[in-house]
């Protein structure tokens, strides 16, 4: 069985403000990709599978997240 990515947030503008503010406060790297965000918002309802044509863009975002997590773990191990 293949796991599919799904859209989880509604009201992206409100969610974005809260997430970005929290990320800045916690000094978490921020990646902005307005075209991807707009494409997801316009084509995918909450809980729906993300269209295959957007997988590459979403994978790039996930790669950014995994790299950021690895950096945080490295900093923590260096203490």
Q: Give the pLDDT confidence score for residue 61 in this predicted structure.
A: 92
Fold of the domain built from segment(s) 30-77: name from scop (3.40.1690)
Q: Tell me phi and psi for residue 6, to 5 degrees.
A: -135, 150
* pTM (global) more than 0.85: no
Which of residues 79 and 27 earns the better pLDDT score? 27
Give the percent of the chain with pLDDT over 90: 27
Domain ranges of the chain: 30-77
DSSP string, 21-46: HHHHHTT------HHHHHHHHHH--T
Average pLDDT (68-74) is 87
Q: Give the pLDDT confidence score for residue 1 in this predicted structure.
A: 36
17's enclosing H/E stretch is: helix 12-25
Distance between CA atoms of 57 and 74, rounded to whole angstroms? 26
- Is pLDDT above 70 for 14? no
- Is pLDDT above 50 for 50? yes
């Amino acid at each position: 069985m293949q796991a599919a990515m799904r859209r989880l947030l509604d009201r992206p503008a409100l969610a974005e403000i809260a997430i970005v503010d929290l990320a800045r406060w916690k000094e978490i790297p921020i990646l902005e990709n307005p075209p991807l965000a707009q494409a997801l918002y316009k084509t995918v309802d909450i809980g729906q599978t993300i269209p295959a044509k957007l997988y590459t863009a979403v994978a790039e975002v996930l790669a950014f997240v995994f790299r950021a997590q690895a950096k945080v773990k490295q900093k923590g191990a260096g203490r």
